[in-house]
Structures are given as structure tokens and as C-alpha cells.
Amino acid sequence: MSSLLDLVRSDLRGFAGYSSARSAKTSGEVWLNANESPWANPGDASGSSRRYPDPQPQALREKLAALYAVDAAQLLIGRGSDEAIDLLVRALCEAGRDAVIVTPPVFGMYAVCARLQGARLVEVPLVDGEGGFSADFVAIADAALANRAKLVFLCSPSNPTGAAIALAEIEALAGRLAGRAVVVVDEAYGEFSDMPSATTLMAANPNIAVLRTLSKAHALAAARIGTLIADSRLIAVLRACQAPYPIATPCAELALAGLDEATQAHTRERVALLKGERERLRIALEKTAGVKRVYPSQGNYLLARFDSADAAFRALLEAGVVVRDQRAAPQLDDALRISIGTPEQNDRVIAALNNAKAVAA
């Protein structure tokens, strides 16, 4: 395969998708082309919700392009990163034929979307070493080539393990898979990482795509604003496969308000505070009886192993603290993932786990 678009399902090449009333570039004073109500709902204070939204709100696209330092034509805005993951699998993978590579333990939506599309799921487990979990890039490339993989999902920083991936590793993998697969780097937690974004590799590697979200650092999880950054040709294909109106107007307005200059400055301050709290909590956990190991993390969470993860989980619940039980995940049968909270919330975690009986085996 010589072209990025050759990776798209053959039956979707040239697919135009649905042409909605908002996709037509027309102007006027009286809009009667979409069968909308001529009156606003009495409960809609702004009156804006009676109209179908812009499928890809231009102001938001430009704001996100500036935020991620890319061209707006490289952006697809969706309902969280989940929608972009699903669109990639549906658009590139033929059911029963093409494969998706994942690196467990990792975010579960890659596998879910592969299964829903009927794509074969190939797992190349992370390696648990002295410095934490890491990806085996030789094995990933070999598996992708041997299994006709169209997509390789990498999570950096990885959820739930916390490790970030060096750009040189991503670039080498993309080079080896050029014309064969798209390497998708999920940077949902990128704001908390010291690693530069893989978007910086895209100009020389068109088969690299990057996922970003406003759900984590920007505290807009309920708005469901995720972004796929990729070659503009692939973005056009995915847009044709996307639902006609993926971004609700109130969500777009909230995202724009959450990305103004003053709010972004506040977000950066909170990210810095959280990174400091991440280190403080890591040190405290390492000193806690019953904690076997705390993994280094570049996300807004820590993965920890316990002598008795069940006892630790129950002790935290009794203290009113809910964490993520990871014991069903591969290689993590004794582990919990703890999101970093406010200093007061983190103190509560430490106090609950310092009860010797709570974490005893």
C-alpha cells in the first residue's frame, strides 16, 4: 500500500456520507430548510437549541487547533475520544479481515470498538519491568505486519499504568508500518506529561494520528468534547462516516468558554498543582504498610499494588473514597488505580490506607 487512503475500507473510499441541512453553505434570514421549530422551547433561555448545531463548530475548531498547535483541517471534533476511536475502527477495518493492535493492560474502548466492528483484536502485552510498564515495539510491529493490522493503538501516558512513550519509539514504529497501518497515539492525559505531543511527528509521518480530550485536564468531562488530529485526507473520510450533528451547541459553547485565555491560565495552575500532588501521594503510598509497589506516572493517577487489594479497596470505600479496581485487568490482579484529587482528598486516601488492618494481607 502506498497511500494513506489505501488503508480506508474499499467500500468507503469516495463515500460522501449524509448531507445535512447544516452542511450546505447557504445564507439567509428565514431558515426553513431543516424542519425545525420556528419558536424556541420555553425552557431554552438562550433560544439557540431550536436549531440543529454546526456539525464541526468553526470557532471551536480554531480554538482547538490553536490549543494543540495544528491546522484546523487536521481536526475532527467528536463526542469524547470514544467516538473517534469507533470511527477509526469502522472506517479502516473490514470485519473478519483486518486487525487492531492493543497493548494491555490499557484503556478498554479500543477492544470494545474492535469487537463491535468485527475486527480481529491482537494483544501485545506491556512488559512490567524495573522502571514500570513499557511497550515492546519490536513485538508490536511484528504483530501488526503478521496480522494485517490497520490500526495500532498506543496510550501515552498509558491508562492505567501511567508511563509515557518516547517520541522516537512512536516515529520508528510509524516508519516501519508506513502504508500498512495507522499508529494512533491516545494523549488523553497529555497535559500531565513531560513528553512532547506526537503531533510533532505527523508532518513526516502521515500514518500517525493523535487523540486529545477536554475531559481530563480541562475538567469538561460532561461536555464530551474529544479531538482526533490526523492527516486532513483521513479526517475528511471520518467526517463522512460521523453522525450528522455530533456536537451539541451547549457543549460547544461550554468548551469555548473553558478555553478562553483566563480559564486556560487557571487550568495550567491546576495541572501544576496536581502534578505536585501526584508526587506527594506517590511518596506517601510507598511508605504505607501493605503497599507493594507504586508505579511512576505521567497521568493524573497512580497505579499501586497491594498485599490485599480487596482490603485496601474496602478500607477506602469505608472512608468514602472511590478508586478504580484494576484486579480484572491483565497483569493487575493486586492493583488499584487512584486518581489524584485535591490536597484534602489525597490526605483522606493516605489516612484511610494508613490503617494497618485495612491493607493487611
Confidence (pLDDT) at 1: 42
CA distance linking residue 197 with residue 170, whole number of Å? 11
What does the pLDDT average to over 327-348? 98
CA distance linking residue 220 with residue 174, whole number of Å? 31
Instruction: For 307, list phi and psi in degrees, rounded to 5.
Output: -60, -40
**Whole-number average pLDDT of the chain:** 95
Burial class for 169, CB neighbours closer than 10 Å (0-12, 13-18, 19+): middle
Structural domains of the chain sorted by starting position, each given as residue range(s) with its CATH number in brackets: 4-259 (3.40.640.10), 263-359 (3.90.1150.10)
Question: Strand, helix or coil at 237?
Answer: helix
**pTM of model > 0.75:** yes
Contact predicate 130/167, CB 8 Å? no
β-pairing, 324-325 with 335-339?
antiparallel
CA distance linking residue 156 with residue 188, whole number of Å? 8
Q: Which helix (H) or strand (E) holds 258?
A: helix 249-258
**Position 254, amino acid:** L
Closest among 83, 87, 77 to 249, alpha carbons compared: 77
CA distance linking residue 152 with residue 165, whole number of Å? 14
Q: Look at residue 361 and tell me whether its pLDDT is greater than 80.
A: no
Contact predicate 351/284, CB 8 Å? no
What does the pLDDT average to over 281-304? 97
Q: Is the peptide bond before 160 cis (omega within 30 degrees of 0)?
A: yes
Q: Look at residue 25 and tell me whether its pLDDT is greater than 80.
A: no
Q: What angle do CA 346, 348, 354 make, to 5 degrees?
A: 105
pLDDT digits (tens, 9 = 90+) for 110-139: 999 999 999 999 999 999 999 999 999 999
CA distance linking residue 244 with residue 224, whole number of Å? 16
Using CA atoms, how far residue 15 sits from 75, 92, 239, 249, in Å, is: 19, 13, 10, 27
pLDDT digits (tens, 9 = 90+) for 126-176: 999 999 999 999 999 999 999 999 999 999 999 999 999 999 999 999 999
Q: Is the peptide bond before 157 cis (omega within 30 degrees of 0)?
A: yes
Question: Strand, helix or coil at 93?
Answer: coil
